[in-house]
């Protein structure tokens, strides 16, 4: 579903990704772990066609970037630590606006389904700027799911969430992944990532340094291995 070969990205003279290789199978839930500056967000921005790599190949759902960027974007849902929502529009208006940007048919039905999915139907007429951080993040997931994308990219979606909101987001992510979607999530939270993902990749110094099966590891073992890979 996602194929990345020899990906290189630098900002000025500073290399961020150094020949990164990545393969994600359809239906897989991949958690990308790594310290700050490892290149997680840069990788996700390249996958979502928001940034252009210096070299390398990126293919998503059979389309190559950057040549077929619009086709790729149609198959992607992206959630970042920012909600990508307009504070002066209501929840419903935000979703309606994005539905039009995606040129979707049955806008009202899709908006209602997305609001139902994230449990915000009762608050659909409230302005987004009045929402709590957790509610904004839930609505952001609704926005990302509007066009029923094949691939979902989550860039540190738990940033700034309290315990209750984070648990609610866990449930939503499980629900979304349960629909057979391919998910790539970046995170700093080892335990949460291990409980959600089917594969953990540790990104360090611009390459995938280690790939792990979370089912076969104890939490302590995972933390020790993470330390070893990122500081070793």
Whose Cβ is closer to other proteins: residue 65's or residue 117's? 65
For 161, the 3-state DSSP assignment is coil
Degrees, nearest 5: CA angle 74-166-23: 40
Measuring CA to CA, how many Å separate 51 from each of 2, 55, 135? 16, 12, 28
Name the minimum Å distance from CB 65 to other proteins: 11
Whose Cβ is closer to other proteins: residue 23's or residue 101's? 101
DSSP 8-state symbol, 21: E
158 binds other proteins (CB under 8 A): no
Q: Rounded to the nearest 10 degrees, how much is the dihedral formed by the CA atoms of 136, 138, 143, 145?
A: 170
Whose Cβ is closer to other proteins: residue 24's or residue 95's? 95
Note whether 101 and 95 are within 8 A (CB): no
The H-or-E segment that residue 183 falls in is strand 182-187
Residues 111-130 that bind other proteins (CB under 8 A): 127
Whose Cβ is closer to other proteins: residue 137's or residue 199's? 137
The binding track of 4-33 with respect to other proteins, each residue x by CB under 8 A or -, is: ------------------------------
Residues 38-97 that bind other proteins (CB under 8 A): 45, 48-52, 70-74, 76, 78, 80, 82-89, 93, 97
Contact pick of 18, 102, 119, 189 for other proteins (by CB under 8 A): 102
Residue burial 28-61, b: 16+ Cβ < 10 Å; e: rest: bbbbbbbeeebbbbbbbbbbbbebebeebebebb
Name the minimum Å distance from CB 133 to other proteins: 11
Whose Cβ is closer to other proteins: residue 50's or residue 191's? 50
Residue 214 tokens, joined: 């979370």
Whose Cβ is closer to other proteins: residue 127's or residue 229's? 127
Q: Which residues are at the interface with other proteins (CB under 8 A)?
A: 45, 48-52, 70-74, 76, 78, 80, 82-89, 93, 97-98, 100-103, 127, 143
């Amino acid at each position: 579903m996602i194929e990345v070969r020899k990906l290189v990205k630098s900002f000025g003279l500073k290399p961020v990704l150094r020949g990164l290789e990545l393969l994600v199978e359809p239906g897989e839930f991949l958690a990308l772990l790594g310290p700050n500056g490892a290149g997680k967000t840069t990788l996700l921005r390249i996958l979502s066609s928001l940034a252009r790599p210096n070299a390398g190949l990126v293919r998503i759902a059979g389309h190559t970037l950057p040549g077929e960027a619009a086709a790729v974007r149609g198959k992607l849902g992206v959630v970042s630590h920012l909600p990508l929502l307009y504070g002066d529009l209501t929840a419903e208006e935000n979703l309606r606006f994005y539905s039009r940007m995606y040129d979707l048919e049955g806008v009202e039905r899709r908006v209602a389904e997305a609001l139902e999915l994230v449990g915000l139907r009762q608050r659909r007429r409230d302005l987004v700027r009045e929402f709590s951080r957790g509610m904004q993040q839930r609505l952001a997931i609704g926005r990302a799911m509007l066009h029923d994308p094949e691939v979902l990219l989550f860039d540190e979606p738990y940033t700034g969430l309290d315990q209750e909101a984070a648990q609610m987001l866990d449930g939503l992510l499980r629900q979304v992944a349960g629909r057979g979607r391919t998910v790539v999530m970046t995170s700093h939270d080892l335990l949460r990532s291990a409980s959600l993902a089917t594969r953990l990749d540790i990104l360090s110094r611009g390459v995938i340094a280690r790939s792990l099966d979370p089912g076969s590891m104890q939490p302590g073992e995972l933390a020790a291995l993470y330390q070893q890979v990122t500081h070793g």
